[in-house]
Chains A and B, each alone.
Chain A
């Protein structure tokens, strides 16, 4: 199946979604992985619902997620636990787009992604899968 006809599928809690972090935001200093401002909304600005674009591991890999950036090597990738995000009252919905079957929206964000609460909660469920500033990726 191609184009925009990818079926929307349920994502199990046990799965991860991948999220890109630009090198400008990577910190790697003690407990601090990256700057809290790294969480951004991407995608269709016309969408009425605030969402953060991620890739579902079922149809993507950390490397594929990195490669979707304008300059891939300038980006790291974190994995976020779907069950963890849902436990924070965020919703994780498969939302395929023509070019990216894995595309997944994290919804339930406040009107303003600058909200400090949601950023703290997102941090709790992140772990590096590609860290361009470390010699070995975890």
Chain B
């Protein structure tokens, strides 16, 4: 099972990037609650680049780095800057605590769920950038019960992808285009996931 530990481990990735400030995330045993002492810190060593995407078809000058967590960065093609912006904007989820208005139940979000979401989007963007269609950027929101929603809303199509809190649960999607055609399903392993989602997005857009 994919655990996305690579986003949390320190391995032998190449050092690359001039980003100096990284966010310190503390994952507690239960519920991945943000540490109340959460704070920014300056890391003396440079963040490391994760290299497990389809970057090899791009020159370094064609890529932009997006900082994720624990000083790790991921790369997207420059033509997908809007996707990078959406990922950056979604970082609020990592410290967000939803309080239900009526039940006052509190929901927090696991960094690994967010990392899984980013992993999916970066993979799709890098694959899409090698094709002839430029795909619109999604919006990324906190979802039910610790899940994360990826939402596309354009005049041509609307699609919703739900990344569940549990890494063992499948990612679900539903999309439809302006002609009334629709797709629905669940995505399993990582390769199927990115390829299938890309195919769906391309056909719908």
* A and B found bound together: yes
Interface set of A (CB-CB < 8 Å, partner B): 22, 24, 27, 29-32, 35-37, 42, 69-71, 74, 113-117, 119-120, 123-124
Which residues from chain B contact A37 at a C-beta distance below 8 Å? 141-144, 149
Task: Verify A27–B141 contact, CB threshold 8 A.
Answer: yes
- Cβ distance B111 to chain A, nearest Cβ, rounded Å: 19
- Cβ distance A28 to chain B, nearest Cβ, rounded Å: 11
Task: Verify A70–B101 contact, CB threshold 8 A.
Answer: yes
Task: Verify A22–B101 contact, CB threshold 8 A.
Answer: yes
In the docked arrangement, what's the CA distance between A37 and B142, Å? Answer: 8
Task: Verify B153–A32 contact, CB threshold 8 A.
Answer: yes
Task: Verify A114–B147 contact, CB threshold 8 A.
Answer: yes
Show 19 A/B contacts (Cβ-Cβ < 8 Å), sorted by A: A24-B99, A24-B101, A27-B139, A27-B141, A31-B153, A32-B139, A32-B151, A32-B153, A35-B142, A37-B143, A37-B149, A69-B101, A71-B101, A114-B145, A115-B172, A116-B160, A116-B162, A116-B172, A117-B184
A36-B151, A116-B172, A117-B174 known; A74-B141 Cβ under 8 A: no
In the docked arrangement, what's the CA distance between A27 and B149, Å? Answer: 13
- Cβ distance A59 to chain B, nearest Cβ, rounded Å: 22
B154 at interface (Cβ–Cβ under 8 A)?
yes
- Cβ distance A37 to chain B, nearest Cβ, rounded Å: 5
Which residues from chain B contact A120 at a C-beta distance below 8 Å? 158-160, 174-176
A-B contact count (CB 8 A): 62
Label chain A's interface by main secondary structure: mixed
B25 at interface (Cβ–Cβ under 8 A)?
no
- Cβ distance A115 to chain B, nearest Cβ, rounded Å: 8
B37 at interface (Cβ–Cβ under 8 A)?
no
Of all chain B residues, which has the CB nearest A38?
B141
In the docked arrangement, what's the CA distance between A113 and B102, Å? Answer: 17
Task: Verify A36–B101 contact, CB threshold 8 A.
Answer: no
In the docked arrangement, what's the CA distance between A123 and B174, Å? Answer: 13
Which residues from chain B contact A70 at a C-beta distance below 8 Å? 101-102
Of all chain A residues, which has the CB nearest B98?
A24
Q: Which of B153, B182, B184 has the most CB of A within 10 A?
A: B153
- Cβ distance B130 to chain A, nearest Cβ, rounded Å: 27
In the docked arrangement, what's the CA distance between A33 and B182, Å? Answer: 22
Contact with A along B134-152 (1 / 0, CB 8 A): 0000010111110101010
Of all chain A residues, which has the CB nearest B89?
A29
A24-B98, A35-B149, A74-B101 known; A116-B141 Cβ under 8 A: no
Which residues from chain B contact A117 at a C-beta distance below 8 Å? 174, 182, 184
Which residues from chain A contact B102 at a C-beta distance below 8 Å? 42, 70
- Cβ distance B193 to chain A, nearest Cβ, rounded Å: 15
Which residues from chain B contact A24 at a C-beta distance below 8 Å? 98-99, 101
